[in-house]
Amino acid sequence: MTKQEAIEQFDQNAPGATGNLFGLPFTTEQAELVLIPVPWEVTVSYSDGTANGPQAILDASAQVDLFVKDIKEAWKLGVAMLPIPADLQAENNKLRELAAQYIESLTEQETSASNNAILDQINTACENLNIYVKSTALKLIREGKLVGLVGGDHSTPLGLMRALTEKYTKFAVLQIDAHADLRKAYEGFTYSHASIMYNALKLPAISKLVQVGIRDYCEEEVSVMQRAAGRVVTFFDEDIKSWMYQGKTWENVCDAILKELPEHVYISFDIDGLDPKLCPNTGTPVAGGFEFHQIAYLIKKLVLAGKKIIGFDLNEVAPGEDEWDANVGARMLYHLCNWTAVSQNKLTVNR
């Protein structure tokens, strides 16, 4: 079946097909935008559960209504998710137990040859994950697909960023997050979820890191920001709130953020950038953060300003006893997919 035939046979107002992302009828071959699911949280240092995020988002996404007020026939873009790799999830579960054992030994100030072996094993496995994500993303990019990633913890998108450096020689990362993620080898893990932006800055093609909503960070990370000499621009949550208390609007804040961004932008979205009432089960929730539509507005404004979203990730969604976190995550993912497509002239804005 062709993509056009799938469109003609699909009723966008009826319940979608359970098991398909957003209930849409498209295969990954038919889709214009393909998502890579990465069920991985090996180095998580607080609450776990984010490895189940891709499946939870997939399940919740069937409840997302497809009509988008600002975008013409958004659902016709064609969005699909690759199958969630069972072998990757099994490896994650095995290594997660080893990592928890290693982290406990740190709290008890124990060191041993066996602990060092565990650390080496985990660092090697995480680099292998980066290689897998990069090769998967490159294949999709070479097929002409737009690519996004659904984690897992925030360590997962490094391979996608590496892949994009082979197509784009210069781009910025817009990071929406409660945490700065600029620690070097946190707890000894080279590819820790707390080190994703430290590792991203090793890529010369990333000309700028613009962080939004940061409210939990350490002195080491502030030093990285300062040494970056303008390559890292951080909009701390407390400063944003202060500006708004003093009379600035969210639009004013968004304008200031957009001024720091070049034409090509990669969005790295940790769900804990939102107010924790919207993601209470995320790995490391922090008081403060944004409302859903504040970030939706920022993404829309970024695209309407002429910026191109070259890729994105959404991570740290951990399902709880209900589907609330996944429900929020699925809807944010739909925004990211659609506005990425608009920025790449794959969809049209209603005028």
- Give the chain's domain count: 1
Kindly state the helix (H) or strand (E) to which residue 220 belongs, with its residue range.
Answer: helix 219-227
Domain assignment of residue 85, given as a range: 3-349
Residue with tokens 């429900």: 327
Distance separating alpha carbons of residues 314 and 279, to the nearest angstrom: 13
Other Cβ atoms within 10 Å of 135 Cβ, number: 12
Q: What is the pLDDT of residue 186?
A: 74
Residue with tokens 């740290």: 316
Nearest to 7 by CA among 75, 69, 92: 75
DSSP string, 53-119: HHHHHHHHHTTS----TTEETGGGG-EEEPPP-HHHHHHHHHHHHHHHHHHHHHHTT---HHHHHHH
The token pair that represents 241 in the structure block:
């709130």
Is the distance from CB of 67 to CB of 173 less than 8 angstroms? no
pTM for this model (two decimals): 0.96
Q: What is the pLDDT of residue 149?
A: 98
Residue with tokens 């070259």: 310
Q: What is the CATH number of the domain that holds 328?
A: 3.40.800.10
In Å, how far are 43, 113, 115, 159, 286 from 196, measured between CA atoms?
Answer: 11, 27, 23, 11, 18
Distance separating alpha carbons of residues 122 and 318, to the nearest angstrom: 22
Helix (H, G, I), strand (E, B) or coil at 139: helix
pLDDT 10s per residue in the chain (351 long)? 899 999 999 999 988 777 899 999 999 999 999 999 999 999 876 668 999 999 999 999 999 999 999 999 999 999 999 999 999 999 999 998 888 888 777 665 555 666 778 888 999 999 999 999 999 999 999 999 999 999 999 999 999 999 999 999 999 999 999 999 999 977 778 888 899 999 999 999 999 999 999 999 999 999 999 999 999 999 999 999 999 999 999 999 999 999 999 999 999 999 999 999 999 999 899 999 999 999 999 999 999 999 999 999 999 999 988 889 999 999 999 999 999 999 999 999 987
The token pair that represents 168 in the structure block:
């784009």
Cβ neighbours for 313, distance < 8 A, ≥ 6 positions apart:
148, 149, 150, 151, 156, 157, 160, 267, 268, 269
In Å, how far are 162, 189, 259, 293, 339 from 306, measured between CA atoms?
Answer: 24, 38, 12, 20, 11
